[in-house]
Amino acid sequence: MSKQKMKFVWTPKKAATAISAYMVGLFFIYPYINMLLTSLKPHGELYSSPTKRLPQSWQFDNYIEVWSKAPIAKFLTASIVVSICATLLVLIVSVPAAYYVARNRFRGRSAFLLLVLATQMFSPTALIIGIFREVKFFGLLDTWLALIIVNAGFNLAFAVWLLSGFFASVPVEIEEAAMVDGCTRFSALRRIVLPVTLPGLVTAVIFTFVATWNEFTVALTVVSSPARQPISTGITTFVGQYDVAWEYLFTTTAIAIIPVVILFISIEKYLVGGLTAGSVK
């Protein structure tokens, strides 16, 4: 029997859904389009023709000149180092903590998970004075280590709460079978549980990395040297007292998006698929 191709028929409902989807997509992507177009304009055109969206003179040299206008390379290096180290620190601490919570029914477990989730309600802005005094007390002002520890602390609670749910979804029988075959608890976690819960680990990595990459308040308060500033605060270099170099500001912002996009592209495939499909028969 030959397969017949189903003919797509437009209906008012499908047309309304498609139009709504395109409108929503355009609403979210418009700021990025405007940012890219502004980054390609010369400085004088931003003030002489502010209402015109498309550049009259395409200034691709902005993406070359910006590297000499500010230490963009140092800003990116600081952001990459701080984000990667904070993400690794969160994984090192959250994985054993979440695994213990998922596999043990200790007294106060529910209250602990609720407390972990409640800590996400605290904003760095509300705690910035205490953070500054604590960082100063330990002599970590104007250091990457301060940013790594603070960002890891703010993202650790979410990672523990998230990963505990993923670990709890893995049947205990899988680990018991592995330990019968000679695995220890640690090797069962490393060889069985972690590969199965890889989507959860990827989610924790993405959340922590992006949150650290975009963090502004703590970085602005704790780090003052241009050589140690991350890209989130480094872009303020182009904001002057009487003038703002919007073309360089948006050019740097576009450059800062690239590492995050690369991260999403490189690990997107791990977000697809079931957690324990085919593990237990």
Alpha-carbon separation of residue 24 from 16, 18, 257 (angstroms) = 12, 10, 21
Domains in the chain with CATH codes = 14-60 (no CATH), 72-271 (1.10.3720.10)
Q: What is the DSSP string of 123-191?
A: -TTTTHHHHHHHHHHTT-TT-HHHHHHHHHHHHHHHHHHHHHHHHHTS-HHHHHHHHHTT--HHHHIII
Enter the pTM of the model.
Answer: 0.83
Q: What's the pLDDT at 145?
A: 94
Q: What's the pLDDT at 272?
A: 54
Among candidate residues 197, 200, 192, 232, the one with its CA nearest the CA of residue 216: 232
Among candidate residues 239, 261, 249, 236, the one with its CA nearest the CA of residue 39: 249
CB 59 within 8 A of CB 41: yes
Which pair of structure tokens corresponds to residue 207? Answer: 């959340």
d(CA 113, CA 268): 28
- At 10, is the secondary structure helix, strand, or coil? coil
CB 135 within 8 A of CB 168: no
d(CA 148, CA 157): 15
Cβ-based burial of 160 (10 A; exposed 0-12, middle 13-18, buried ≥19): buried
d(CA 232, CA 243): 19
pLDDT profile of the chain (281 residues), mean per 10: 59 84 89 86 75 78 88 92 95 90 79 76 82 91 93 90 85 82 80 84 90 92 89 87 83 90 79 43 40
Alpha helix positions (H), 10-143: 12-39, 43-48, 62-69, 72-103, 109-118, 128-137
